[in-house]
Amino acid sequence: MPAPINVSSGSQAIIALGNVSTQADITGANNAQILPYLQDITINNSTGVFRWKTLDSTAENAATTPATNSISMNIVVDETSFFGAANVENSVIADGIFGTSKNKTRVHFQVGLEGADSTDVTITGEGFISGLAPTVNMDSPVWVTPLTIEVDGDYTKGAVA
Amino acid sequence: MRDTLLTAITANVASSNVSVSSELPWIQGDEPLYSINMKKFYLDEEQISNTVLFETLDDNKIYETETTMEGFLEVDAKNPLSDIDTVISGILGSKSAIANTTIAESNYSTETENDRITYTFEFRFITY
């Protein structure tokens, strides 16, 4: 029977960040930065395509090339997570999202699709924070920003231990 | 919020022909207090509405809070107050006393019945 993954509580679609892989822990352990106020999150895995034609064929041939991976999301700007708080272990917490982007620090991430309970599916990887564009206006006077993690390399599917 | 607004209104009409009551405009007998005590301004209780501005996946909702209040002043329609324009301006301008609002609005309407004119003031504040 099909088993759709739905988000029915505030602890299911989550992302953890850290400057070393162990900190990318959606359970919140190991000094993980669990990003608050996620409005939406998209896991992009877009392969390139090489196409060629031959005279003896009526249609193009195709082969995929390495994928461009990125995690994109929109968040409500939280002062602590955006600008940083004292933390000697995880520089993503210490520098905040803004500082991590500005400093071009490599980040490790773990995305939870169905929560942080044992055997729940995760996707991990590493990359760089990009695409911050905090915005506010009088019709919606709370700061929000897009955020993209430009993934360096491949994703790894895993599960919460 | 009502206390702050009431203090500002009291200060703004202090030297006018209108006084300000701290009581709510409750109904005594069949008449509201502002009909019994003409030339006295009454500010009603706050009405607060919380609506979600942003839903978030971690259930930390961002709320928009709308607070509205009504004020009432009744005067003799045959002998209008000489300083009614100043009084109205003072009451409407009291909205500025409420801090940390994204929107602070005030307006008024009038209704004349028999020889009485009732000014109904509406205040609206949006906070986050």
Return the residue in B54, B57, B126 with the most chain A beta carbons within 10 A, the one to mutate for interface testing: B57
* A65: β partners: A48
Q: Which residue of B has its CA nearest to A140?
A: B53
Domain spanning B2-127: which CATH class is it, in words?
A: alpha beta
Q: Which sequence spans correspond to the domains of chain B?
A: 2-127
Strand pairing of A156-159 and A121-130? Answer: antiparallel
Distance CA A110, CA A37 (A): 16
B11: its two tokens: 């200060």
Average pLDDT over residues A10-24: 94
Contact between chains at B57 and A76 (C-beta distance less than 8 A): no
pLDDT digits (tens, 9 = 90+) for A114-152: 999 999 999 999 999 999 999 999 888 999 999 999 999
Residue-averaged pLDDT of chain A? 95
Q: What is the DSSP string of A40-71?
A: EEEEEEEEEEEEE--TT-SS-EEEEEEEEEEE
Which CATH number describes the domain made up of A14-159? 2.40.30
Would the pLDDT of A105 be above 90? yes
Q: What is the pLDDT of residue A61?
A: 96
- Beta carbons of B57 and A9 less than 8 Å apart: no
- List pLDDT tens digits, range B21-35: 999 999 888 889 999
Provide, as residue numbers in chain A, all residues whose Cβ is less than 8 Å from the Cβ of B52. Answer: none
Cα three-residue angle B110-B5-A138, rounded to 5 degrees: 90
- B73-102 pLDDT, tens per residue? 999 999 889 999 999 999 999 999 999 999
* Partner-chain residue, chosen from B59, B62, B102, that has the shortest CB–CB distance to A76: B62
User: Three-state DSSP class for A82?
Assistant: helix
Q: Where do the domains of chain A lie?
A: 14-159
Query: pTM for the whole thing?
Result: 0.80
